[in-house]
Structure 1
Amino acid sequence: MAKKTSTLDQSITHFLGPKHWLTWCAMGIAYALSFLPWSLQQGLGKYLGRALHLIAKRRRHICEVNLKICYPDMPSVERKKLTKAHFESMGIGVLETFTSWFQNQEKFQSRTTFEGQDVIDKVLATGRGCILISGHFSPLDICGGQMSHFMDVHPIYKLQTNPVMNWVMERQRRAIFSKTIERTNMREVLKSLKQNKAVWYAVDQDYGRKNSVFAPFYGRQCATIAHIGRIAKMTNAPVVLYDYGRTKNGYHLRLVEVENYPSQDDIENATRINELMEAVIEPKKEQYFWSHRRFKTQPIAGDPSPYGK
């Protein structure tokens, strides 16, 4: 597997060889699609999602397993319907990501509603910055770009294996946000909080046994990121829930301060985070990233993954 490395200090000339041409062609198509009107993107995205539902068998299987774990009492017909709706939402999200990368963020500002200016004012008045926590939903990139209009956000990001994808992603996100932080760079996280900035973590993915504790998510123990509570204890930075999603006519962003957090117990803190994630998932189930392996790491090492090999 290719090593994941940042490309921020590298020139585009490093990535112009023939082995990268196919990716550059894909980026050209993505750039062209980003100019489509919003309503057309929504419709085309649904068709893209339906195609992915048919051909992406592994992702469809992961989604089906997750829904069966999280909604064991849901009739199978309803789970299948939700699976299809999820893929449609993810297809729309792909086009929204292209738009967030290649278009001016003001393009969709009129379609965005925001709730939480009072929360921003309160938490930043402490001078300790804040830790913004969210889940992974299909309009993640475009809603993140819209959030940059309301507060100075420093998002945590994960490097991609494809270097061309990294080159484009890192530069486009840097054009939106005053700073982005690779997820292993704790020094920059602490520096941003000290500068009274908002550091944004998506807290609902499985980062493995080393970086997690086990806490219930929809009634099943799963590996949950542990260091949100630890950072909050170390810095006394307020923690704010960032809830976002796609609406009928655009996007809605909402901030809520997480009170009485953290406790002194990592598992209790992780349980609280998972409860918050469940609460924001329920009103918009289809937009959640069900096709990620949320239950990959098992509480007992060596136990088989529910997704198979």
Structure 2
Amino acid sequence: MAKQSTLDKNISHFLGPKHWPTWIGIGIAYLLSFLPWFGQKWLGNLLGSVHYALSSNRKNICHVNLKICFPDMTDKERTKLAKAHFKSMGIGVFEMFATWFQDRNNTASKVAFNDQDVIEKALSKGKGCIIIGAHFSSIDLCGTHMARYIDVHPIYKLQRNPVINWVMERQRQAIFSKTIERSNVREVMKSLKQNKAVWYAVDQDYGRKNSVFAPFYGRDCATISHISRLAKTTQAAILLYDYGRTEKGYFLSLTELEDYPSGDEVTDATTINALIESQINSKKEQYFWSHRRFKTQVVPGTPSPYSK
């Protein structure tokens, strides 16, 4: 069953005193969104540095992931990369503010996308398409600009804070023609039948029940398995989505996958993980290293690598 959205609730549900701190934070975010792009990048770097210094839990997760994925790096190299990652995530926070509260045309000139023919070819088959990609720190801003070129229906996860959900869902509703909470499979199928593009970020650990184990940087990790089943059932085209931040702006890129699905879920998951690795290697600091990618262990009961 799909989780409860806030789209059917008005603001009066979220005006109680317990929500005031969140509203104050959102007000500050609104004001910060008016800063010029270079000012937001500078503050994002500062925010990331402060977060690295103060967040022992996220810092531990990041260092564990880097040690697993890049065992040949020295401690000094991993520390340098970890600090760069936190700065990149800090910039991503300000990019999120901009996508929520500012006109996306303000940053349109900074975004390069040259693959309109890829999406047109995929949708010409009439089966819809499934766009798959990873979590990079510019996901909000680049996702907003993807909607300028593609009528894409992103899959999203509800947050614990209901006020954040209320704001987030409404801001995304203004950008995308439709958004789909990740447990709502019925809406995914409906979108594909309407020949729309559905966007999944496929690089997080959703637990043993929804995954197969496939290598990611040489270590088996839980990788969502329903993408290949969904592709087989719907015959939708599969497009690999890459995006990121550059020195002068942002890029978006789409590539159609051939021979997918293969008929074997582990093979398909391995293929996706290898493609994501290739994307990460060109911009390592922008990846979500502070997420617990290896949380679910192959052998049940094995301690988490993130346990201190």
Counterparts of 1:121 and 1:10, CA distance in 2 = 36
Q: Quote the residue 1:93 is aligned against.
A: 92
Cα drift, residue 83 of structure 1:
0.3
- Superposed CA RMSD in Å reads 0.7
Counterparts of 1:154 and 1:236, CA distance in 2 = 17
Counterparts of 1:148 and 1:7, CA distance in 2 = 22
Counterparts of 1:105 and 1:257, CA distance in 2 = 27
1:5-41 per-residue CA deviation (whole Å, 9 max, x = no partner) reads 3101001000000000000000000111111111111
Q: Quote the residue 1:77 is aligned against.
A: 76
Q: Quote the residue 1:152 is aligned against.
A: 151
Is residue 257 of structure 1 aligned with residue 256 of structure 2? yes
Cα drift, residue 118 of structure 1:
1.3
Cα drift, residue 75 of structure 1:
1.2
Is residue 102 of structure 1 aligned with residue 95 of structure 2? no
Which residue identity does 1:292 align to in structure 2?
Answer: H
TM-score if structure 2 supplies the norm length?
0.98
Cα drift, residue 302 of structure 1:
0.3
SS at match of 1:133: strand
Counterparts of 2:258 and 2:36, CA distance in 1 = 40
Q: Quote the residue 1:140 is aligned against.
A: 139
Q: Quote the residue 2:30 is aligned against.
A: 31
SS at match of 1:50: helix
SS at match of 1:149: helix
Which residue identity does 1:6 align to in structure 2?
Answer: S
Q: Quote the residue 2:225 is aligned against.
A: 226
Structure 1 unaligned residues grouped into runs of 5+? none
Counterparts of 2:141 and 2:16, CA distance in 1 = 30
Counterparts of 1:195 and 1:37, CA distance in 2 = 39
Q: Quote the residue 1:11 is aligned against.
A: 10
Counterparts of 2:39 and 2:256, CA distance in 1 = 36
Which residue identity does 1:300 align to in structure 2?
Answer: V
Percent identical pairs in the alignment equals 66
SS at match of 2:130: strand
Structure 2 unaligned residues grouped into runs of 5+? none
Q: Quote the residue 2:179 is aligned against.
A: 180
1:64-103 per-residue CA deviation (whole Å, 9 max, x = no partner) reads 0000000000111110000000000000000000111111
Q: Quote the residue 2:267 is aligned against.
A: 268
Cα drift, residue 105 of structure 1:
1.3
SS at match of 2:241: strand
SS at match of 2:302: coil
Runs of 4+ off more than 4 Å: none
TM-score if structure 1 supplies the norm length?
0.98
SS at match of 2:187: helix
1:33-75 per-residue CA deviation (whole Å, 9 max, x = no partner) reads 1111111111110001000000011000000000000000011
